[in-house]
Amino acid sequence: MPSARRSPFIPHTARLKESIDLTPDVKLFRMELEDEAVRKEFQYKPGQFAFVSAFGVGESPFGLASVAYQNDAVEVAVRRVGTVTAALHELEPGAIVGVRGPFGNYFPLEEYKGKNICIIGGGIGMAPLRPVIRTILDNRSNYGKLTVVIGSRSPADLVFASEYEGWGSQPDTRVELTVDRGDANWKGRVALIPAVVKEIHLSPENSVAIICGPPIMIRFVLVELKALGFAPHQIVTTLEAKMKCGLGKCARCNVGDKYVCQDGPVFSMDQIAGFLEQF
Amino acid sequence: MAKFISKTDLLAWLEGLMKERTLAAPIKEEGVTRFAPVKKVADIVMDPGATDFSPKDWFFPPSETLFTVSKADGKTVITPRTMEKEAILFGLHPCDGLGVALMDLPFLAEPADASYAEKREKTTLVGLACRQSRPECFCTSLGSNPFDATYLDVLLIEAGGGYIVQSKTEKGQKLLASAKLTESNVETPAPPAVNTVPVEGLVAIAPHVFNDAFWTRLADRCIHCNMCAFVCPACYCFDIRDYVGKGGVVERVRSWESCQAAGFTKIAGGYTPRPTKAARLRQRFYHKFLYMPKQLGSIGCTGCGRCVRVCPVNIDIREIITTMQKIGAKVAVGAP
């Protein structure tokens, strides 16, 4: 009976456990779903996303930044850019938010077993890549070399900066940092991400490159990866699109015969090359 | 022999049904015909021609509250909106029945849109066959016809001072139980002739026309008023926003949106994947003629002609189909 059908638009309520400043305009939200049964059912994989509601202001989609198997909290990194994200930033621990999801496909990490993995993230684009890195590091022997290239506008804008050292200290793992503009204390690299990809000579052999970041960054990283010999099927990205439902209904994220919310957000470059439209 | 109802008995039947149910039918307000709940049967426009707005308004209204969020004893309570009474949607033409079937494709696909599904289940469709077609009608090119009962619970065909009554669905027959039907040998009139548009092969040819300059030329005159999408029985894009009402009760509201609007694809940070009018105009037709067939199995058009009538700058879907076929045919044979 339809009256008994739960509306897929109704979010689960969740309590904000913590909101942690990651950068001047990015906070990490650690949320606990209120209903215990829902908490158990809320399983997801790296690359999937969920909508978070600030009731009274609206809801927006965010890449899930946590790994489900730790199961202590659902995490998203929220950059303050619009009305919903500004409202979320105002919330104090204990506040009730809405969580709807998980939605979308995920990075096929099972298929990548035995391969070298290059992760390239720009700015807030690191959020959906963080669970990929965690999953690989927690199952380290299943994967080859792990290279993580992280860039941001400035040193203060590096998200999850406190975790880089831990990642880089793992076997066969290196973390390459870069910023567009340094500051007085920055002794590291000042370069754009595509230049770093070129500089460190990522090898395409038995490798997969996973990219997330602003569209302009992705575009130029692709140029470099192609020059290094990466084939389109070896490059995977996660597309960002305007979304209102996550259910393949509102048609906002429609590109070609795909819905980013359901068929994506993870696409390989050979899939993207088949789109009629550049997205 | 056919089942028959006189005009007086039809109104009496509807009046009787209104006691228990909501009756939504074409009404005219400030010169605009649209489907809306009626207070008395006399208000129904009995020969609506094509209504300005489509019957999608009933199932997918311009704006509707999906649920409310309130606080009670320190708890957050989410209450979905539900439909109280059963309903009759009266007076839709066969092409609009097809429109409802097209609207079902996205909204009833799992996970089904609960509010749409409930309205659909609790509503019986009573259609009116078309007495005449309009120049901009092309329903027969999309698989329907002026007497098509396929997507309706009851179809009424005007004849002999009343209506021939057809019904093949359980819902329709249940509703007709209270109607004063007689057996009549009144002859079924011939359906009106309908103009045709070359739709066949459009899905296959569409990818070849995507990059043609034709879209820019056409879009240059579009004033993105979005009316084509709003009157379309098959356009289903939407937006969702929150509003705070009395006592801090939050309403999450779904409203019509159109892919023609400039901010339709704009994401956080300002990037807009579909920034030009040409790209947006093209999206509307590719969604209908290529993506919907691939994703949901059917072209997203009923041939009702509403968008042709409403467009202030004469962008004409029939012309677009014809032009796509011409350009596509040239590309297909490699001609310049």
- Side chain identity, residue A144: G
Helix (H, G, I), strand (E, B) or coil at B51: coil
Q: Is B236 exposed, middle or buried (0-12, 13-18, 19+ CB in 10 A)?
A: buried
Q: Single out the residue of A82, A240, A84, A261 nearest to residue B252, CA to CA.
A: A84
Judge whether residue A2 has pLDDT over 60.
no
pLDDT in tens, B215-245: 999 999 999 899 999 999 999 999 999 999 9
Chain B residues closer than 8 Å to A53 by CB = 242
Q: CB distance from A226 to chain B under 8 Å?
A: no
Q: What is the mean pLDDT of residues A123-128?
A: 95
Chain A residues closer than 8 Å to B114 by CB = 2, 5-9
Residue B335 confidence class, pLDDT cut points 50, 70, 90: low
Domain that holds residue A149: 116-238
Residue B332 confidence class, pLDDT cut points 50, 70, 90: low
Q: How many inter-chain contacts (A to B, CB under 8 Å) are there?
A: 130
Contact (CB<8Å) A56/B242: yes
- Nearest CB among A5, A241, A259 relative to B117 is that of A5
User: ipTM for the complex?
Assistant: 0.91
Q: CB distance from A263 to chain B under 8 Å?
A: no
Contact (CB<8Å) A252/B82: no
Please indicate, yes or no, whether residues B92 and B132 belong to a single structural domain of this protein.
yes
Q: Is B248 part of any domain?
A: no
Residues in chain A: 279
Helix (H, G, I), strand (E, B) or coil at A120: strand
Contact (CB<8Å) A257/B294: yes
Contact (CB<8Å) B113/A7: yes
The CATH number of whichever domain residue A62 belongs to comes to 2.40.30.10
Count: domains in chain A: 2
Crossing angle of the two packed helices B94-108 and B114-122, in degrees rounded to 10? 140
Count: domains in chain B: 2
The CATH number of whichever domain residue A199 belongs to comes to 3.40.50.80
Q: Is B87 part of any domain?
A: yes
Helix (H, G, I), strand (E, B) or coil at A15: strand
Q: What is the mean pLDDT of residues B21-49?
A: 93
Tell me how crowded residue A125 is: count the other CB atoms within 10 A of its CB. 25
What stretch of H or E contains A86?
A: helix A83-90
Chain A residues closer than 8 Å to B109 by CB = 248-249
Distance (Å, whole) CA B6 – CA A238: 62
Contact (CB<8Å) A3/B268: no
Please indicate, yes or no, whether residues B161 and B39 belong to a single structural domain of this protein.
yes
Please indicate, yes or no, whether residues A120 and A234 belong to a single structural domain of this protein.
yes
Please indicate, yes or no, whether residues B18 and B132 belong to a single structural domain of this protein.
yes
User: Across chain A, what does the average pLDDT equal?
Assistant: 94
Q: Are B224 and B261 in contact (CB under 8 A)?
A: yes
Please indicate, yes or no, whether residues B21 and B153 belong to a single structural domain of this protein.
yes
Q: CB distance from A251 to chain B under 8 Å?
A: yes
Distance (Å, whole) CA B137 – CA B140: 9
Residue B1 confidence class, pLDDT cut points 50, 70, 90: confident
Contact (CB<8Å) A255/B273: yes
- Nearest CB among B78, B117, B266 relative to A242 is that of B266
Contact (CB<8Å) B259/A251: yes
Contact (CB<8Å) B82/A3: yes
Structure confidence at residue B334 (pLDDT): 60
